[in-house]
Amino acid sequence: MTVATINGIPINYQVKGDGDLVVLIMGTGSPGRVWDLHQTPALVAAGYRVCTFDNRGIAPSGESLGGITMPDMVADTAGLIEHLGGGPAHVIGTSMGARVAQELTLARPDLVRKAVFLAGHARMDHFQQVLTEGERQLFDSGVALPAKYRAAVTAVMNLSPATLADDHSARDWMDIFEFTGGATSPGVRAQLGMDRAFDRRGAYKSIMRPCLSVAFADDRMIPPYLSREVADCIATASFEEIPDAGHYGYLERPEAVNKVLIDFLAK
């Protein structure tokens, strides 16, 4: 990995492959290396130059403990693209990263060739706003959930019932969540502190770049109707829904997700 100073803070990133640049933007609380499990290898094999990075809030990138805003994250991604030689680049984000990609496509269309929003959303409904506030309160209380309970909650919120119905898959995922989970870092708490009471449906009507909004059919965190709203707002957007996939659909159904990504970028 390489560290560059972008917008006054260190941003940890890596680049693999050759060809047109694809920038992958991860969601809340996760490092950029998560993409390396499935999406980075597939995109490199398809002939793309792929950049993954740790958003501000995720060490060793700057944790921005004084607070994080969406414009901060958009500026970080824009600055990284410029650092890598400028756009336009293909931009793919998931969850919070999808929102970064959406806002970047709106604010800096000169840097975006095509954009894909996995679990994208122009707003959050009441459930997501209450859930986020609950996560903030849990962190601030100092309460640590037992590892097995935390793993079970993570699985229910982020995986498809189809995955959990298979004993072998469920056991593997629960083991992963139990042993890779832990206390929320102050940087992730800063990410959780970002505004959730937004509605960008009107603003996204101005996006003119080719876009793809991808929903995961069993996503409890960002249900498909919110991702469809994004596609409905953007005249140049199309919509895909991946079956038997929860919020971590890019990890649960990587072959299906990778095919959708590569097919769209190749058009």
The count of residues in the chain is 267
Active site residue 168: no
Asked if 208 and 109 count as a contact pair (C-beta separation under 8 A), the reply is yes
Catalytic residue among 95, 160, 213, 227: 95
Separation of alpha carbons 105 and 216, rounded Å: 22
Nearby residues of 207 by Cβ (< 8 Å), 6 or more positions away: 102, 105, 106, 109, 233, 234, 236, 237
Active site residue 247: yes
CA atoms within 13 A on the CB side of 88: 15
Count of Cβ atoms closer than 10 Å to residue 53 Cβ: 28
Active site residue 90: no
Strand, helix or coil at 44?
helix
Tokens of 205: 């009507």
**Strands of 103-186, DSSP E:** 112-118
Asked if 102 and 228 count as a contact pair (C-beta separation under 8 A), the reply is no
Asked if 152 and 170 count as a contact pair (C-beta separation under 8 A), the reply is no
Separation of alpha carbons 68 and 189, rounded Å: 10
Count of Cβ atoms closer than 10 Å to residue 167 Cβ: 8
Residues marked active site are found at 95, 219, 247
